[in-house]
A and B are shown apart, each in its own frame.
Chain A
């Protein structure tokens, strides 16, 4: 038998703790897939929202019907001559009806409602002098209000960031629990194999060798468990509605493209975590054995 062969067989296979490590790793990896998905999705949502709302603004014109066309023309002219504005376009009735449909239902009789006129504005990356623009608009079209979406954008971005923090915290907690389980199982395994350790010490085995035999077993089980758990988690993620479909509340949750490497990396991360936790525990316990 080579030294590696001995490392593989020297610890009896019957330890229940080792199987518990595998099961725990599977459960933790399964949960970690969802925490990762939440983290990735929150980041993506924040990015999408920011991209969708940045460099855009809306001018809302509230005026009596007989003045609406005149004020709209004035506002469009002001916007056309303002540095930092690349485009300004009056929204059609159909577009306005589409915006209101989510709140007021289809077949909206726009004619019967005193609705403001909306102008869709596209800004340059640096944007206009918003304070100056607001002053010009109030002077030339008193019914016009310039809205740069800041009040919508900030809470959305903050919410997404908070969601991502929670997901990352969940990942840290899952990792900590996994490490704690491996450490407890390693201690239990070392305690239940005191005779094995004693024999190995008597025949001249160094702590590094003995630790390796236990660490190997723990790491292998944790890695296999994590692979199974991550695989099950990935399948569960695939069963969720397609993120691109936009068909349900879950449609934003999931991995896209290279983000799928993250759940696939969970077994590797678990292996490293289990190896460190088991080795530290084993070397600590072995110090007390002569």
Chain B
């Protein structure tokens, strides 16, 4: 699904990380962890092409990111779901309109029944007509998750999806992503919350990547 080959990235002040290689297989479940500022969000942005690597290559769904046209990149993003740390909503649209965006911008039919079921599945059945600024932190995260999965993505990328949520809500959101993974979606979650990783490990087979001191390594069982 996603493959990094000797990827390095820097913002001009020296490499954030270098020689990063990893493969995200179909149906796999990965965590990406590391201290704040280590480059977790950058790593995810490289995964979906918001950034290009300074060196090495990133392949997304079989296509090299560097050789993709803008339309190719857009079409590829239609096959992945992204949950942002800050959610990234269109605040003037309702929850259901935001959730339906991945389908409606590509001309795919949005079934009212499916949309309603999805919102109920993430616990937002009563918030369909609400505007994002009126939602709580947990509701915003679940709305972002619903939007990320409405188009049945092959890959789900989530950047600190449980940041600012209490433990109960974090567990609930993680359970939703685990359920999605069981349905075949490859999942990569960037988080610094080790408790969350431990919780997931009790329910699903996961691999943990750790970014530290400019290196991306596979973490051991010492979490």
A1 & B97 in contact (Cβ 8 Å cutoff): yes
Q: Which of B57-106 contact A (CB under 8 A)?
A: 70-71, 73-79, 82, 84, 88-90, 92-93, 97, 100-102, 104-106
A10 & B93 in contact (Cβ 8 Å cutoff): yes
| Residues A204 and B93 in contact in the complex (CB < 8 Å), given A3-B104, A3-B107, A290-B51 | no
B104 & A12 in contact (Cβ 8 Å cutoff): no
Chain B: interface residue total (CB-CB under 8 A): 31
B75 & A1 in contact (Cβ 8 Å cutoff): no
Number of A-B contacts (CB under 8 A): 75
The answer for the CA separation of A206 and B73 in the assembled complex, in Å, is: 9
Enumerate chain A residues within 8 angstroms of B92, measured Cβ to Cβ.
Answer: 9, 12-13
Q: Which of A6, A195, A207 contacts B101 (CB 8 A)?
A: A6
Min CB distance B167 to A, Å, is: 28
| Residues A199 and B101 in contact in the complex (CB < 8 Å), given A10-B93, A290-B51 | yes
Chain A: interface residue total (CB-CB under 8 A): 24
A204 & B106 in contact (Cβ 8 Å cutoff): yes
Interface centre among B97, B105, B107 (most CB of A within 10 A): B105
B104 & A2 in contact (Cβ 8 Å cutoff): yes
A3 & B105 in contact (Cβ 8 Å cutoff): yes
| Residues A200 and B105 in contact in the complex (CB < 8 Å), given A12-B92, A290-B50 | yes
Question: Can you list 10 pairs linking A and B with CB atoms under 8 Å apart?
Answer: A1-B104, A9-B93, A12-B90, A13-B92, A195-B90, A198-B88, A203-B82, A203-B147, A204-B75, A206-B71
Q: Which 3 pairs of residues, A with B, have the shortest CB-CB distance?
A: A204-B78, A205-B105, A204-B77
Interfacial residues, chain A to chain B (CB-CB below 8 A):
1-3, 5-6, 9-10, 12-13, 195-196, 198-207, 209, 287, 290
